[in-house]
Amino acid sequence: MYQVRFYKGDYQWRQKQANQDKCVAYVEHHFNASPNLQSDYTVVITSYNASELSKNWGKSYALRISKEFSVPLGGKGGLLIGGYNGRGDGNLKYTYMPAILLEPLFASNPIHAGWIRSAEGQDKLAKMLADSIIEFFPDGSLIGFSVGHKYKTSRPSDRGAPLSGGGTEADYAEIVMEKAKSLLEKYSPSAVPPPPVIPTVPTNDVRVIKDGKELWVYTDIDEDDELTWDTDNRVLYISSQST
């Protein structure tokens, strides 16, 4: 149902390739960084020309992160339109489809870095990304993924910010995106269970049932036959009606 394709090269090139492939959505994954090691919020960037769908998708994703990791929402309701003084806008503005740039946690914050480095934290981040895509693009199709900083033609050694305790922003963003890719490509909508099968009981039968157990059944009954119950003698009379 979903197919995920990673795009490499400089950011404008990635977006144009995603347009050419007719992706229905495009995600670039980063982690934030700050000289203040206590910086603690989640934010999603959209371009200045972003659609309302992009903005709503970004807000929804940021809210998922905020609730799961108990971190505040940055920007305005988790959204930063146009990025930081325009930085981030060029990563998305050439797309023809809804597009968001993720900065869910801070690579520079030691607590956040622990979550980013752990398999459990990566699984949570991947699931929230996949779930947001499934929610906003339920019909499936091709999804474009871009790992921030990594694989740029102009700066092939760029890996973004260092992760507190070791590693780099880009390498861990790629791990999360690979896990999200796996979730999406294995996803199958839950089949709607069929309605319960209710045994059809012929309406013309006469049955004797005791304590829920059928003891006797008489089937030679016509729709026009008359049934009369004699309460005193506890007898059921069946009278055939001639036509």
| pLDDT tens figures, 193-239 | 555 554 555 556 677 777 767 777 777 766 666 778 888 888 878 77
Taking the C-alpha atoms of residue 96 and residue 126, their distance in angstroms, rounded to an integer, is: 24
| Parent domain of 163 | 2-186
Residues 80 and 123 in one domain: yes
Count of the separate structural domains present in the chain: 2
**Residue whose C-alpha is closest to residue 61's, from 144, 134, 165:** 134
**Residue whose C-alpha is closest to residue 91's, from 30, 28, 151, 6:** 28
Residues 212 and 106 in one domain: no
Question: How many Cα atoms within 13 Å fall on the side-chain side of residue 104?
Answer: 31
Residues 113 and 224 in one domain: no
Residues 102 and 45 in one domain: yes
| pLDDT tens figures, 148-204 | 999 999 999 999 999 999 999 999 999 999 999 999 999 988 744 555 554 555 556
CB 25 within 8 A of CB 144: yes
Residues 139 and 76 in one domain: yes
| pLDDT tens figures, 7-39 | 999 999 999 999 999 999 999 999 999 999 999
Residues 119 and 85 in one domain: yes
Is 231 part of any domain? Answer: yes
CB 154 within 8 A of CB 15: no
pTM given for the model: 0.78
Residues 139 and 217 in one domain: no
Residues 59 and 167 in one domain: yes
Residues 224 and 157 in one domain: no
CATH number at residue 13: 3.40.630
Looking at 24-86, which runs of residues are DSSP E strands?
A: 25-29, 43-46, 79-81, 83-84
Is 228 part of any domain? Answer: yes
Please name the residue that has the structure tokens 């992706």: 23
Taking the C-alpha atoms of residue 144 and residue 160, their distance in angstroms, rounded to an integer, is: 20
Taking the C-alpha atoms of residue 38 and residue 111, their distance in angstroms, rounded to an integer, is: 9
Is 193 part of any domain? Answer: no
Residues 51 and 152 in one domain: yes
